[in-house]
Amino acid sequence: MRLILVGPPGSGKGTQAKRLAASRSIAHVSTGDLLRDAAARGTDLGRKADALMKQGLLVPDDLVIGLIEERLGAPDCAKGFLLDGFPRTVGQARALDGMLARRRVQLDHVVLLEVPDEAIVERITGRRSCSKCQTPYHVTFVPPRRSGVCDKCGGELTLRSDDTEEKVRTRLAKYHQETAAVIPHYEAQGLVRRVDGTGAPDAVYAAVEKAL
């Protein structure tokens, strides 16, 4: 199965993507995670991406497309994959169409998580993730047993530097200006499954499963 998960920042893409990819034994490919990893390793690409990410701006298409092209060629993507955070522009969507056609494979579904902007801003500033194993939490909705400590590995929970209110508003504006345009691109291919993303993670997950 080949899936794309689309939605505004803070719509729960990361949380749903992890569960969906695990339940279907397919690769979870997050461009945000790949870019943060490149930045942490201090690669050329990582350095270029880091400053843009910190401002909540999009990384240029050619860099992200190159990253995805390489990642989709890895053996774990042969059984299927779930793209989380890609494509974010129509240019990226067109490039992905080309990559899939060259590999002679097709997408099965594009899941769109719908959450209003004000709910996003409220949600996102409470978001935390484990600095060691990346497990996501939320201080109100998915709190860890001990404040600031990962339930799974005991790692420290941290706030992403782009999860402040100001950066969130910039990222939402980018989403509406650029990313929302990929929805009609996939609607034309009959692939879009709209899911209400406003509930708790378990309820949203059930709705996604139903939509698939």
Single out the catalytic residue among 24, 94, 160, 169: 160
- Check binding of 129 to ligand AMP (CB under 6 A): no
Q: Residue 146 Cβ, how far from ligand AMP at the closest point, in Å?
A: 25
Write down the H helix ranges in 73-189.
Answer: 90-103, 117-124, 165-177, 182-187
Residues 150-169 that bind ligand AMP (CB under 6 A): 162
Q: How far apart, in whole angstroms, are the C-alpha atoms of residue 39 and residue 32?
A: 10
**Residue 27, beta-bridge partner list:** 81
Tokens of 157: 């929970």
DSSP state of 25: T
Out of 7, 8, 12, 85, point to the residue binding ligand AMP (CB under 6 A): 85
The answer to whether 127 and 159 have CB atoms below 8 angstroms apart is yes
Q: How far apart, in whole angstroms, are the C-alpha atoms of residue 17 and residue 89?
A: 19
- Check binding of 52 to ligand AMP (CB under 6 A): yes
Give, in order, the Cα–Cα distances in Å from 35 to each of 85, 126, 166, 171. 11, 22, 21, 16
- Taking alpha carbons only, the member of 112, 135, 110, 136 closest to residue 123 is 136
Map tokens 């409470």 to a residue. 126
For ligand AMP, the closer of residues 83 and 207 by Cβ is: 83
Considering only the stretches 37-45, 55-63, 134-142, 203-211, report the one whose residues sit in contact with ligand AMP under the rule CB under 6 A: 55-63
For ligand AMP, the closer of residues 6 and 206 by Cβ is: 6
- Check binding of 7 to ligand AMP (CB under 6 A): no
For ligand AMP, the closer of residues 85 and 197 by Cβ is: 85
103 assigned to active site: no
127 assigned to active site: yes
160 assigned to active site: yes
For ligand AMP, the closer of residues 33 and 145 by Cβ is: 33
- Check binding of 135 to ligand AMP (CB under 6 A): no
Single out the catalytic residue among 2, 88, 123, 128: 88
Q: How far apart, in whole angstroms, are the C-alpha atoms of residue 173 and residue 109?
A: 25
> Quick one: which H or E segment has residue 196?
strand 192-196
**Which residue is nearest to ligand AMP, using beta carbons?**
32
193 assigned to active site: no
Catalytic annotation, residues: 13, 88, 127, 160, 171
- Interface residue list for ligand AMP (CB under 6 A): 9, 31-32, 35, 52-53, 56-59, 64, 85-86, 88, 92, 162, 171
